[in-house]
Structure 1
Amino acid sequence: MRCIHTYIKRALAPCIVFISLQSAYAQTALDKKIDGIIKKMTLKEKIAMLHGNSLFSSEGVKRLGIPELTYDDGPLGVREDVGRFTWGPLRLKTDSATFFPNGSAVAATWNPVMAYRFGVAMGQEALARKKNIMLAPAFNICRTPLCGRTYEYYSEDPFLNAQLAISSVKGIQSQNVAACVKHFAVNNQETWRDSINAVVSERALREIYLPAFKASIEQGHAYTIMSAYNLINGAHCSENEFLLNKILKGEWGFKGLVMSDWGGTHSTVAAAQNGLDLEMGSSGPFEKWYFADPLYDAVKAGKVSEKLIDEKVHRILWVIYHTSLVAHRLPGSINTPAHSKAVYDIASESIVLLKNQKHLLPLNTSTVKSIAVIGDNAIHTFATGGFGAGVKAKYEVTALQGLKNRLGKNIDIRFAQGYKADYKFNYSAARKQEANKPNPELIAPAAELAKTSDAAILIIGSNREYESEAHDRADLSLPFGEQELVNAVTAANPNTIIVVIAGAPYDLNEIKKNNHTIIWSWFNGSEGGNALADVITGKVNPSGKLPFTFPAKLDDSPAHALNTFPGKNLTADYKEGILVGYRWFDTKKIEPLYCFGYGLSYTSFKYSAIKTDKKSYKNNENITTSLRVSNNGKYSGKETVQLYVSKLNPKAEKAEKELKAFKKVAVNRGSSAQVALNFKAADLAYFDESVKKWVVEPGQYKISVGASSRDIRASAIITVD
């Protein structure tokens, strides 16, 4: 087989070289075309392209046939249209869109194919709505579980983040729409986000916080990137020479445009010289923005060269020619059955089975004749809420409706609210309202309904108001008095299935101890209710894995253990360095509530016959680990095989283990699948700050393969020279 592959590779080599030369020629031709356009532009026209001309657009050059660029928020789908100069919705009948699962839901699939489908569908919807740039995906590292945007971001692990970011970027851009990866970089908290200075070592930056951005640029080929609000090591991200010029444009060779977050520009000359290309969202008249009249005046005064302005305009035109002016642009589509199917499949693969001790799931519908569905989240919708982008969803199936859709013909389904999620955050005063008071008037009838039903499905958790951009949570406790509701309903009916719908970790200690059946879902898009119902009934075997660690208590998390969140004197010192998430918990021997990569199935998988293709490698070679995964249970299902690497007797500081490869495989019951996991020996490198280089430490490494970071099934030892 290897000989055949070698033959094919050699046979295709001339074609590959020809295609590469064609691509290089086309690129050169485009660059020349763009340079020709810039020569025809006045300085005023150039400057006009470097800042917004409305809330979600920036100027083109009409006389030269250059259209304006249009932007749209995109974490959950294409947002409803707002006025050019006001955030108020236009209340059109034509701007509904598909509601996609949130970022941590996509990450919980551990499936790059799902991330790609997410991107393709979102790109198609953006195209249909005439948007050139989708402000997505967002994949900052989950440093603290309290971050208000954890639901929007992906994971605590840079490798998992990177693989999903590559796929979602490629998906969006396959539709002639630019992906805007964000927020670059180290935007790990919303508290004081405009002014917090993240003090981070270069090693931690390069090993933890930058890899997903690097991958999205070098492998995903993202056209645009958004700078974060915060400062890194004393400089705002929108004018950070090290971040934007040295790394992004220098080392990574980024050809697209760097835009500010809305209102995230702080200067004219420094921002222009240190890598920002486009200013968006600043307050006041457009001509007063930093990159408007003040930038024109700075060029005229010789403080900023016109050559630098030309470079910025070139980058913007390059994006335009890859989006709105691309030849044979695709038509786009919105609210299609295919998009609904993509949402359903992502949601189905994202749901995590946390506990099934009495095997109550999948639900035995032949013996259950009545179900009490309890909890505000059973009827809550999640397309909108909180501060920031939402979606005017064409439809959203709630959990209650999903259960009725699947079971309502044969089972008596009754509902009790149990609690009321009427939480609001006062953004102008940056103050939260009380959100943890139980409501006895709602708890009592809920418990009574559970008592008189064969089974109870209690649906609790959070919502988009409680988890939101612009504020962080105060603690890990469940909101709205939910724990008291859980206790009352469980006492009334031991056959209670707990479903938690949320985007970030919560304190489930008491539930884990006292309840035998727990499902974790997310803000799972337009088809979320149907997907949840199909997992509960067994039509779908759950295969989601947690993309971040659930701490047993908040002080176990590194940023909180070291008292560096939210920081002091507007400074957050990242003292934990590279030990973020499971790296911290494993290295410090701290037992989490639920570990990174955790997730159960209705079936059981056995790992066997693990081996590496060699025992010793040079640091420029590839490493292949193979194993067999057997499904020994009653149900067909999908398993995510995770590969972690540990350095034995390291000289440099190392985490206990690091994720280096993973693969999701479908295995029918009674069958087996051969799995190969590949990574490069160079991927074992750490960043040595003393020499400013990536270094692979020679010696022995342990390769561990398992179902989670704590459920290791097999291991092997290799040597790297």
Structure 2
Amino acid sequence: MKHKNIIEQMTLEEKASLMSGKNFWNTKEIERLGIPSIMLTDGPHGLRKQGGKADHLGLNKSIPATCYPTAATLANSWDRSLAYKVGQDIGKEARSEKVSVLLGPGLNIKRNPLCGRNFEYFSEDPFLTGELAGGMVEGIQSNGISACPKHYAVNSQEHMRMTIDEIVDERSLREIYLTGFEKVVKESNPYVMMSSYNKVNGEYANENQHLANDILFSEWGFDGVVVTDWGGNNDRVAGLKAHNQLEMPSTNGITNKEIVDAIHAGTLDESVLDEAVDQLLSLIYKVRLDDKESVQADYEEHHNKAVEAARQSMVLLRNENNVLPLNEDEKVAVIGDFAKNPRYQGAGSSLINPYKLSSPLDSLEDSSLNIVGYAQGFKRMGGNSSKLLKEATSLAESAKTVILFIGLDESKEAEGVDREDLKLPENQLELVESIMKVNGNVVVVLAGGGALELPFADSVQSILHTYLSGQGVGEALTDLLLGKHNPSGKLSETFPIHYADVPSSPYYPGDQATSEHKEGLFIGYRYFETAEVPVRYPFGYGLSYTTFDYSNIVIDGLTVSFDLKNTGGMAGAEIAQLYIEKTDTKIFRSKKELKGFDKVHLMPGETKRVKLELTKRDFSYYNSERKDWEIESGKYKIQIGSSIQEIHLEETVDMDGVSPSVFLKHEFPHYSSVKVKDIPDTEFEKLLGKRLPSTKWNRIDDLGMNDTINQAQYKNWLGKMLYHSIIFFHFFFKKIGKPLTANNVYFVINMPFRQIDRFTGGKISRKNVEVFLRWINR
């Protein structure tokens, strides 16, 4: 142990006290031994440091900070260096505010586009996720503080996230859900990792021996600290045995006592506690800021950088007849509530109080365009208004071009709540239809944190998706619309035509006890490409105002190089993508997988030689029987494209390896034929290697501490009243236009009873909760 001398001076109670927070955001200090307290706070796309009363869901305001594009937006830049710079800036703001651990980035995989927190995650692809998250981690930690990648692992839904059991086979776990974390741990060396609320294959992630001890610490060599998600502890002693060194927030000594009692009872070896204390002290001394020089963040400079990040991350999805960029002095009508009141970030623990905010309307009015007027067009939170519709239609008739701002409101995407569908609100779709009848030049500007169904996609002239672009959204968007900058973003996720096309749609979300990942490996493009299902926009897709040419591919060992030329008349950046496809495979697998990319900036007529490096791991699949990665011997196509569907160059290479003995096609007929929406339990159980647990709650047994308020609806009148009261207030706040409050009320319904005493710091004691449960169970 590095800090044996200090640990030997501690009492058992002092050691146990370090294993949970001092308060909501700080670790505990021990002054007599010179151990300082450090601060942790939210920060996936900007610093959320609360100056007053603390909470986890963004209820109370935080100090002003730069709001950068969310991870889902930044991922569309496909730019490692940009991710590094954004992380560096957020880290600098954190350090200037004496924050030692920034809780981000989030790198859970987008299993399903309905996940309410997808705006905080990078991609459906683990390689892209790991590359960009790694850049952000390195940028944050360049300031002498720690990043905290989250949520480890398989946090795929918000509904019932504190108790849901994610049932996933080992191969899919390794190849899809853990690869991003593995890349970040091995290549970017984060000092802290955050465990997730959910269970994975029957064990809570925070106390999951396989995820933590077998994989994270032993196999990957992680030597940092694991912190719970806030309130994410189930069994404190079990968590400690799985290398969870820090529980947050404070539990007012409740779980510290559990550790002490376990040692006295002989169920926990004190050496396990000593090792955890040693690892926590290493972190504290590494990122403490009380003895470091203070820094100042330049918020104006950071705003300009946030604008640049937004410019590089917006995606041009359609541009018929080159309607964009707009001409100078063009008569333009601006329509849609999001033009004046932009949707630029998500909700929940990542909610930033922006230092400044540029609205698209203000930026457009300050431009050279001839803005003939603005109309709200629709009620933001839904509902019909013939007056607003008439005003917008009338304005559209007076302009040459309409810039129409539509998207998802704040209630649709938030921590703790999943989306109900991929549809835009009916009042917005009605507006689009009405505008198109009177004006043929419609430029749709979308706002939202992910994929959408776009029934009008082939009818409007242009579509530009801003995603959630942060506080610089107005300036960045205006620059792209006017051609001052060239759009270069490409989708980091697939846009299906209909939600029913999504492979996990029959299984998502897990409603009660479990969430079965029956689709296995086949999420996102891995399904759509292999099953040849048409999509609205494929993975890696995005348009530019210029054109590019690919040529002269050469493969030398594991190095792939080719020429990329800007053949148009405007400077621009192209995202060249490398995919690997196994020919004549004997096992079920995705048709092709992303294994390399580069964002290349080119002047008109300029050519650059692009070089991409592969590794043997890029050709491998995970053999869950051998517990190792292996290459299937044979031929592989190396494909270079501008999206997964637009392949411009291809060469074939031979790879030495093994003849597979697992995942053989004839043994898994549904997976081999990609009929993953109808996987029989028997075939999924064969893949899992065990029987499936029940997907439903046991409604007969008494409720216990690990059950939720949601389950109280099946008990006596008191339980039903509690449940329906929360549902009432959820819909009430939604109705009166307070979506964030409504979502936070709903968050409570999925909270396990064990968390009540911990979240209230003992104000509602465990004994009080147990008494209440006895009443409900009568």
TM-score w.r.t. the length of structure 2 is 0.82
Contact preservation (8 Å) 1:384, 1:392: no
Match of 1:468, as an amino acid? A
Matched, 1:41 2:10: yes
The correspondence of residues 534-573 of structure 1 with structure 2, limited to 5 A, is 534-560=479-505, 563-567=506-510, 569-573=512-516
Aligned residue in 1 for 2:327:
364
Aligned residue in 2 for 1:274:
242
Match of 2:514, as an amino acid? T
Aligned partners of 1:85, 1:325: CA distance in 2, in Å? 21
Aligned residue in 1 for 2:222:
254
State the 1:76 CA deviation.
Answer: 2.6
Contact preservation (8 Å) 1:54, 1:85: no
Matched, 1:481 2:449: no
Contact preservation (8 Å) 1:80, 1:392: no
Gaps spanning 5+ residues in structure 1: where? 1-30, 423-434, 615-622
Within the candidate set 181, 185, 190, 1:222 is matched to 190
Aligned partners of 1:527, 1:184: CA distance in 2, in Å? 31
Contact preservation (8 Å) 1:196, 1:230: yes
Within the candidate set 284, 288, 292, 1:320 is matched to 284
The correspondence of residues 503-522 of structure 1 with structure 2, limited to 5 A, is 503-508=449-454, 510-522=455-467
Match of 2:104, as an amino acid? A
Matched, 1:597 2:540: yes
Within the candidate set 468, 474, 478, 1:533 is matched to 478
Aligned partners of 1:98, 1:221: CA distance in 2, in Å? 25
Aligned partners of 1:502, 1:671: CA distance in 2, in Å? 35
Aligned partners of 2:446, 2:403: CA distance in 1, in Å? 10
State the 1:87 CA deviation.
Answer: 6.6
Tell me: CA distance 1:84–1:482, structure 2 relative to 1, closer, same or farther (3 Å).
Answer: closer
Aligned partners of 1:177, 1:128: CA distance in 2, in Å? 11
Q: Secondary structure at the match of 1:518?
A: strand
Aligned residue in 2 for 1:418:
377
Within the candidate set 129, 134, 137, 2:102 is matched to 134
Aligned partners of 2:451, 2:92: CA distance in 1, in Å? 32
Aligned residue in 2 for 1:619:
none
Aligned partners of 2:622, 2:473: CA distance in 1, in Å? 41
Tell me: CA distance 1:50–1:585, structure 2 relative to 1, closer, same or farther (3 Å).
Answer: same
Match of 2:145, as an amino acid? V
Aligned partners of 1:672, 1:607: CA distance in 2, in Å? 10
Within the candidate set 44, 47, 52, 2:21 is matched to 52
Match of 2:638, as an amino acid? I
Matched, 1:286 2:252: yes
Q: Secondary structure at the match of 2:367?
A: helix
Q: Secondary structure at the match of 1:599?
A: coil
Aligned partners of 2:358, 2:220: CA distance in 1, in Å? 42
Match of 1:495, as an amino acid? N
Q: Secondary structure at the match of 1:406?
A: coil
Aligned residue in 2 for 1:62:
31
Contact preservation (8 Å) 1:385, 1:464: yes
State the 1:59 CA deviation.
Answer: 0.4
Aligned partners of 1:161, 1:98: CA distance in 2, in Å? 23
Matched, 1:406 2:367: yes
Tell me: CA distance 1:446–1:576, structure 2 relative to 1, closer, same or farther (3 Å).
Answer: same
State the 1:611 CA deviation.
Answer: 2.0
String of CA shifts for 1:329-381, please: whole Å, max 9, x gaps.
Answer: 35333352331232112111101010001111011115x1x211111111224
Match of 2:518, as an amino acid? K
Count of residues in Structure 1 that have an aligned counterpart in Structure 2: 656
State the 1:88 CA deviation.
Answer: 10
Q: Secondary structure at the match of 2:245?
A: coil
The correspondence of residues 435-446 of structure 1 with structure 2, limited to 5 A, is 435=382, 437-446=383-392
Contact preservation (8 Å) 1:142, 1:188: yes
Contact preservation (8 Å) 1:76, 1:383: no
Aligned residue in 2 for 1:620:
none
Contact preservation (8 Å) 1:98, 1:334: no
Gaps spanning 5+ residues in structure 2: where? 657-778
Q: Secondary structure at the match of 1:526?
A: helix
Aligned residue in 1 for 2:167:
199
Match of 1:529, as an amino acid? G
Aligned residue in 1 for 2:134:
166
Tell me: CA distance 1:62–1:593, structure 2 relative to 1, closer, same or farther (3 Å).
Answer: same
Tell me: CA distance 1:633–1:364, structure 2 relative to 1, closer, same or farther (3 Å).
Answer: same
Aligned residue in 2 for 1:666:
601
String of CA shifts for 1:671-699, please: whole Å, max 9, x gaps.
Answer: 21111111112321100112111101111
Contact preservation (8 Å) 1:56, 1:84: no
Aligned residue in 2 for 1:102:
70
Aligned partners of 2:6, 2:435: CA distance in 1, in Å? 69
Matched, 1:307 2:271: yes
Tell me: CA distance 1:135–1:89, structure 2 relative to 1, closer, same or farther (3 Å).
Answer: closer
CA RMSD of aligned residues (A): 1.9
Within the candidate set 300, 305, 322, 1:337 is matched to 300
String of CA shifts for 1:218-263, please: whole Å, max 9, x gaps.
Answer: 1110011111111100001011000011111111111111111111
Tell me: CA distance 1:449–1:90, structure 2 relative to 1, closer, same or farther (3 Å).
Answer: closer
Q: Secondary structure at the match of 1:358?
A: helix
Matched, 1:461 2:399: no
Tell me: CA distance 1:384–1:600, structure 2 relative to 1, closer, same or farther (3 Å).
Answer: closer
Contact preservation (8 Å) 1:606, 1:631: yes
Aligned partners of 1:711, 1:90: CA distance in 2, in Å? 45
Aligned partners of 1:89, 1:663: CA distance in 2, in Å? 36
String of CA shifts for 1:123-150, please: whole Å, max 9, x gaps.
Answer: 0000111111111000100010010011
Aligned residue in 1 for 2:674:
none
Aligned residue in 2 for 1:394:
355
Within the candidate set 622, 625, 633, 2:560 is matched to 625
String of CA shifts for 1:531-582, please: whole Å, max 9, x gaps.
Answer: 010000001100000010011111111111xx11112542111111111110
Aligned partners of 1:280, 1:604: CA distance in 2, in Å? 51
Contact preservation (8 Å) 2:526, 2:590: yes
Tell me: CA distance 1:83–1:195, structure 2 relative to 1, closer, same or farther (3 Å).
Answer: same
Matched, 1:684 2:684: no
Q: Secondary structure at the match of 1:355?
A: strand
Aligned partners of 2:643, 2:59: CA distance in 1, in Å? 47
Match of 1:107, as an amino acid? A
Q: Secondary structure at the match of 1:511?
A: coil
Match of 1:119, as an amino acid? G
String of CA shifts for 1:432-457, please: whole Å, max 9, x gaps.
Answer: xxx4x343221110111111112110
State the 1:636 CA deviation.
Answer: 1.0
Contact preservation (8 Å) 1:606, 1:630: yes
Match of 1:309, as an amino acid? L
State the 1:640 CA deviation.
Answer: 0.3
Aligned residue in 2 for 1:151:
119
Paired-residue identity, %? 38
Aligned partners of 2:568, 2:290: CA distance in 1, in Å? 51
Within the candidate set 625, 649, 660, 2:584 is matched to 649
Match of 1:199, as an amino acid? I
String of CA shifts for 1:449-497, please: whole Å, max 9, x gaps.
Answer: 1111121100111244321110111111102621111111122211111
Aligned partners of 2:591, 2:293: CA distance in 1, in Å? 47
Contact preservation (8 Å) 2:51, 2:63: no
Deviates more, 1:36-45 or 1:195-204: 36-45
Aligned partners of 1:125, 1:80: CA distance in 2, in Å? 10
Tell me: CA distance 1:565–1:51, structure 2 relative to 1, closer, same or farther (3 Å).
Answer: same
